[in-house]
Structure 1
Amino acid sequence: MTTILVTGASGQLGRLVLDHLLASGKVAPGDLIAGSRDPAKLDAYTQKGVKTREVDFDGDLSEAFTGIDVALIISTDALGEPGKRQAQHKAAVTAAKAAGVGHILYTSLPKAEESVITFAPDHLNTERAIKESGLPYTILRNGWYAENLFMSLPHVVQSGQWFSATGEGRNSYLPRADMAAAIAGAILLPAENKTYTLTGEEAYTVREIAAIVSAVAGKEITVIDVTDAQLAEGLKSAGLPEGFVPTIVSFEVNTRLGHFEPVTQDAATLSGRKPQALKDFLEANKSVFAG
């Protein structure tokens, strides 16, 4: 019997990982522990026989990892306060080591050493903390969710214009469900002190994505190249909180520099299934961005 803890289990990715583990038939519900700072949100899993546990990254984690053989640490969403996310992750690693966890998995981001995304150092330093802990590990460098496109596509389709600073940079988007399936697959493997990068099977420029969106939505989308400064001003004018503007701009710079471009087969290898193609994903979710 192997006891598996999934932190952040009430979030979108955590729930999908739990679903895939349960569907695999390789894990008994009673061997799964869904961790959240608010376990009440996990009643649906309790009804399936999954155990729940309070895991508060801002609180005392000494009991959170007790009796756990395999722990998936899903990176937290604490982006508003510099240094907080990194401190949360390191506290979790320390607690996992103290509890004698046998295998720790962590969700990071691609090319963490080179990424210019504002929160990339949080991930890189967490990876280092895990390796320095001496715990057997698996690092899962999650590519960009295809769902992230929904932050901009509704407005893009409505206006017919896509303002972008990505240039000819490419991004290998992967739907969250495929990401979760790959992570679940990694949880079921022995620890090999290995790093995987989870991406879609093809990388696209913003113009190539715009062409797909145009075909799906039935409306012509024109891509307008802008500078980083112009993009920042546009985001501010659209009402985005000023503190988050540099982060959004860094996503586009990271794409332009090619840090999202590499494509791997890791997601397919770990999940045992072919990831959904971007065009198929957009067609299946047309109602989200095209009414």
Structure 2
Amino acid sequence: MTAKYLVTGASGKLGQSVLHHLTETYKVAPADIVAASRKPAALATWADKGVQTRAVDFDDIASMEKAFEGVGRVLIISTDTLDRPGHRLIQHKAAIAAAEKAGVQHLLYTSMPEPANSPLLFAPDHEGTEAAIKASSIPGWTILRNNWYFENVFLSAGPALASGHWYSAAAGGRIAHIARDDIGRAAAAALIAPSDAKTIYTLTGANSYSHADIAALISAAAGKEIAVVEVPLEGLVQGMVGAGLPEPVARVYASIDTMVGVGGLAQVTTDYKTLTGLEPQAFEGWIKSQAGALKALIN
């Protein structure tokens, strides 16, 4: 059975958001959608709604070739394989090759802002994937360079609220956060767009914020003061190692601060509105809405 649209990583949070917006916001017929995952059993609710479900393993190119067969437009949500440097790029290149072989007409990919020459340690995965897409024979493609989700703030908010200190090596750099559900809506809009052009969108919130700005917003919502403490990069790494993170993982997380410090996440664009016709959700309002969850993080 053929379908118009396929979403990989469909059992994940972003994939679920994309499926929601395809079916509810844009009223795409469930029979025109394929939800693909390593865990197709986790997609039973979507299958009950009439969405096709298929097994896709990014380490098994045959599974991708089979899943992509007969589908016109495919959204590849970047995998979460960060513990093996370079492996994610291998997975993505295999997916692109499978899409070519299956005759996919338009490929979409979730990337990051300005991956070229970025100090972020996993940026080469995105840069290499973008290059492979551009070099492929697939007629059309869309690259969605997604800024950091609102929800990523919780990675820092927990330790900061517990200790009262936010240790930062970002040197006052800024981040134009965007809600994960806004990314899901924009990805769904791009997936069903009639255009077969080759396009790059950078999806951001309407404003950018420094760690000090974010700490102030969290402090106000949670009712506990957080002081931002600037530390050298190596100090940040060792602090995370001391808290129990494996050093390679700590270095990946610390490289986010380096990227923020050089302005890699500061750009604000109107690409979200171009795709959806809407303004992105406001970061300040979202932080206020999370007051209960933030207060629960205070020891």
1:57 aligns with 2:58: yes
Counterpart amino acid of residue 253 in structure 2: I
Distance 2:274 2:291 in 1: 28
1:244 aligns with 2:245: no
Distance 1:86 1:53 in 2: 22
Structure 1 contact 150–288 (Cα < 8 Å) conserved: no
Counterpart amino acid of residue 214 in structure 1: S
Structure 1 residue 2, shift from structure 2 partner: 5.6
Structure 1 contact 114–259 (Cα < 8 Å) conserved: no
> Given the two structures, how large is their TM-score scaled by the length of structure 2?
0.95
Distance 2:9 2:109 in 1: 12
Structure 1 residue 129, shift from structure 2 partner: 0.7
Distance 2:192 2:274 in 1: 13
In structure 2, which of residues 139, 142, 160 is the aligned counterpart of residue 156 of structure 1?
160
Structure 2 contact 3–31 (Cα < 8 Å) conserved: no
After TM superposition, where is structure 1 displaced by more than 6 Å over at least 4 residues in a row?
none
In structure 1, which of residues 196, 208, 213 is the aligned counterpart of residue 213 of structure 2?
208
Distance 2:131 2:259 in 1: 21
Which digits, 9 at most, give the CA deviation of each residue in 1:184-204, with x for residues without a partner?
A: 111121221000001111001
* Corresponding residue number in structure 2 for 1:41: 42
Distance 2:196 2:236 in 1: 42
1:140 aligns with 2:141: no
Counterpart amino acid of residue 160 in structure 1: G
Moved more, 217-226 or 68-77: 217-226
Structure 1 residue 270, shift from structure 2 partner: 1.2
Mind listing any 5+ residue stretches in structure 2 that lack a counterpart?
A: none
Counterpart amino acid of residue 122 in structure 1: D
Counterpart amino acid of residue 258 in structure 1: G
Structure 2 contact 218–294 (Cα < 8 Å) conserved: no
* Corresponding residue number in structure 1 for 2:111: 108
Distance 2:142 2:59 in 1: 24
- SS where residue 69 of structure 1 aligns? strand
RMSD: 1.2
Structure 1 residue 145, shift from structure 2 partner: 0.8
Distance 2:237 2:80 in 1: 22
> Given the two structures, how large is their TM-score scaled by the length of structure 1?
0.97
% of aligned pairs identical? 46
Which digits, 9 at most, give the CA deviation of each residue in 1:1-59, with x for residues without a partner?
A: 96100000001100100000001344100000000011000011111111100111111
Distance 1:124 1:274 in 2: 28
1:229 aligns with 2:234: yes
1:220 aligns with 2:225: yes
* Corresponding residue number in structure 2 for 1:274: 279
- SS where residue 75 of structure 2 aligns? strand
Counterpart amino acid of residue 48 in structure 2: Q
1:8 aligns with 2:28: no
Moved more, 38-47 or 182-191: 182-191
Which digits, 9 at most, give the CA deviation of each residue in 1:40-93, with x for residues without a partner?
A: 000111111111001111112221210010000000011111221111100000
Structure 2 contact 221–294 (Cα < 8 Å) conserved: no
Mind listing any 5+ residue stretches in structure 1 that lack a counterpart?
A: none
Structure 1 contact 154–290 (Cα < 8 Å) conserved: no
